[in-house]
Structure 1
Amino acid sequence: MRLNTQTAIAVTADPSAGPGIRLISGQASFTMPKHSSQALTVLAGHGRIVADRARFDVLCLAEKTSVTCVAGDVEVTVGERLATVSQGQQVVYDGDGLRVAATADLQEATSWQDGYIVFRGTALSDAVAEINRYRPGRVMVLNATLGQKTISGRFRTERMDEILGWIERATGANARTLPGGVILLS
């Protein structure tokens, strides 16, 4: 298991059910050994993910969870619905239920493990939420119209302040820096 920044987990304590993890919030990558004798169960958001020989990534933020299968197959259960997610696929679920599995960009889904974040036509407000996971303080978008502008790019997570400068130039935003690492974009 590999954890991304601002991730909280709990290990389940039922030895009869095999290894289990509750992903409370954040993002984690799981790799099961090829010759594993037990399945791994991951509880995240409103769902349950089970894998015995797979590599997969789970992102659980707010009420939305996405499961990306990098290798093998995983089973995702939300309520009464079950989906098998195969290599190169991603499924998303929330309180409204389980969506249909779709093709995933594996490089984008796992880029955090190499120290990058990727935005592709991402609303600035969503990009800022992701940026806030990687830097101290907080960036806030003060204008709804600005928050809807989209950005694209691949950025090093260790250089968040450089990304903010790029966002200013690309979107025409004005940044105001306050104490405590707070940055206001308008």
Structure 2
Amino acid sequence: MAMKIRWDDSEFEPSPAMLRRAAHWQLRLRDDPDGALRAAYEAWLALKPAHEFAAAEVAALGDAAMLLAPESGAPVVPLRPVRFRRAIPVLQIAAAAAALWFCAFTVAPWLADLGAGAVTATGKSARYRLADGSSVTLNTDSRIDLAYTGSERRVTLVRGEGYFAVRKGDPRPFLVDAGEGHVRVTGTHFYVRRDADRVTVTVEEGHVRFSGATGGDAGPALTLGAGDQAFLTGHRLQRQANGDLFTAGAWRQGQMVFLDAPLGDVVTELNRYRSGKIWILSASLRQRNVSGLFKTGDTAEAIRTIEERLGIEATHLPGGIVLFY
């Protein structure tokens, strides 16, 4: 007898109560941004996906003055700046957040306000133009926060991956924080990817300073030029002998490139673009090598190709779950 699995959309859709809670958290952090409070907030975000969506909506709504869509040809959509108060009614938050959700995720966004953040859903990418003329393209399931001042332009890669095209001529340094990894530039093009166990930086043009120090300016650092790639694992920086710019940037063309990569690594990458995950049921199967060029928007075709090339079995379950064995 087949087992029926019921999926609860409420896990991903923030409720009005969650929106109010997210607003409350951000007000507290604005008034008292200490480490313990930040840790508690991050723990709340990790409880369920809907919490992160609620936080992203409220953060953007509370700081963004306007969202433009220059690349899609859509008209300018000005939004009146909103500042949350603790007594703001839940329905006002929910209605405003719904309007922001429509503007931000159906129109290519322009980040005009320096305090705004951006987030992409699983399987989606988006290009955002920043107020200083720089731009960032976010890959699947990625999130950034912005903090520009008169002395620096700082971006925090909370998760995922981004391609940064930094405008030249601005004397303020452009800083990207990704966990323990820190990148410092003035004008250049580069990639930063934040995984659970490491941070990867790949330079397309210009030079960057890649540091693993907590403060970003002290301790060991690497200077990377065009075509260079480096990793930070824990507190250890390592330069890649033969950086692969094509593979690192393939996602911007909607592609994934693998050359004799273990199936376990391939599946990890495919899962970044899927809501239903792929599982490998055999330890030896994880070590089988795979080569290929796959589309980020068609992981089903990649699964079929892997089945054929490796001669393995795959079981498809409800919700897009796939078992390799």
Normalising by structure 2, we get a TM-score of: 0.55
Listed as ranges, the matches of 1:26-41 within 5 Å are 26-41=160-175
SS of 2:257 mapped into structure 1: strand
Which residue of the other structure, out of 131, 137, 158, is the alignment partner of 2:297? 158
Equivalent residue pairs, number: 185
| Separation in 2, partners of 1:171, 1:23 | 36
Return 118-127 or 64-73, whichever deviates more: 118-127
Q: Is the 8 A contact 2:163 2:189 kept in 1?
A: yes
Alignment match, 1:23: 157
Deviations 1:99-118 (A, max 9, x none): 13533121111110010011
Q: CA–CA distance in 2 between the matches of 1:100 and 1:133?
A: 25
8 Å Cα contact 1:91/1:101 also seen in 2: yes
Query: How far 1:50 moved relative to its partner?
Result: 0.5
Say whether the 8 Å CA contact 1:18–1:39 is kept in structure 2.
yes
Does 67-76 or 42-51 show the bigger shift? 42-51
2:212/2:235 contact within 8 Å kept:
no
Between structures 1 and 2, the one with greater helix share = 2
1:52 is the counterpart of 2:191: no
- AA at the equivalent of 1:103: N
Aligned to 2:324: 185
Q: Among residues 134, 140, 144, which one is paired with 1:9 in the alignment?
A: 144
Q: Residue type matched to 2:222 in 1? A: A
Q: Which runs of 4+ in 1 moved over 6 A?
A: none
For 2:244 and 2:266, the matched residues in 1 are separated by: 17
Q: Amino acid of the residue matched to residue 198 of structure 2?
A: K
- Following superposition, the deviation at residue 94 of structure 1 comes to 1.5
1:28 offset after TM fit, Å? 0.2
- TM-superposed deviation, 1:46: 1.3
- Amino acid paired to 1:25: R
Aligned twin of 2:273:
134
- Any idea what the Cα deviations from partners look like across 1:77-119, whole Å, max 9, x if unmatched? 1121011010000010111410135331211111100100111
Corresponding residue number in structure 2 for 1:65: 199
Which one scores higher on RCO, CA 8 angstroms, separation ≥ 6? 1
Q: C-alpha distance in 2, partners of 1:24/1:133? A: 15
Deviations 1:12-50 (A, max 9, x none): 3x6144111111211100011132332210011311101
Structure-1 residue corresponding to 2:208: 74
The corresponding residue for 1:167 is: 306
SS in 2 for 1:99: strand
The answer to whether the 8 Å contact 1:40/1:51 transfers is: yes
Structure 2 partner of 1:89: 228
Q: Which amino acid counterpart does residue 129 of structure 1 have in structure 2?
A: T
Q: Give ranges in structure 1 of 5+ residues lacking alignment.
A: none
Q: Which is richer in strand?
A: 1
Distance 1:103 1:56 in 2: 16
**1: CA distance between counterparts of 2:143 and 2:287?**
29
Partner of 1:22: helix, strand, or coil? strand
Contact 1:45 1:94 in 2 (8 A): no
Q: Which moved more, 1:68-77 or 1:153-162?
A: 153-162
RMSD value, Cα: 1.3
The runs of 5 or more residues in structure 2 that have no matched partner are 1-135, 214-218
CA contact (8 A) 1:146 1:171 kept: no
8 Å contact from structure 2 (residues 180, 235) kept in 1: no
Q: 3-state SS of the aligned residue for 2:298?
A: helix
State the structure with more CA Rg. 2
Whole-angstrom CA distance in 1 between matches of 2:303 and 2:170: 44
Q: One-letter code of the match for 1:29?
A: Y
SS at match of 1:129: helix
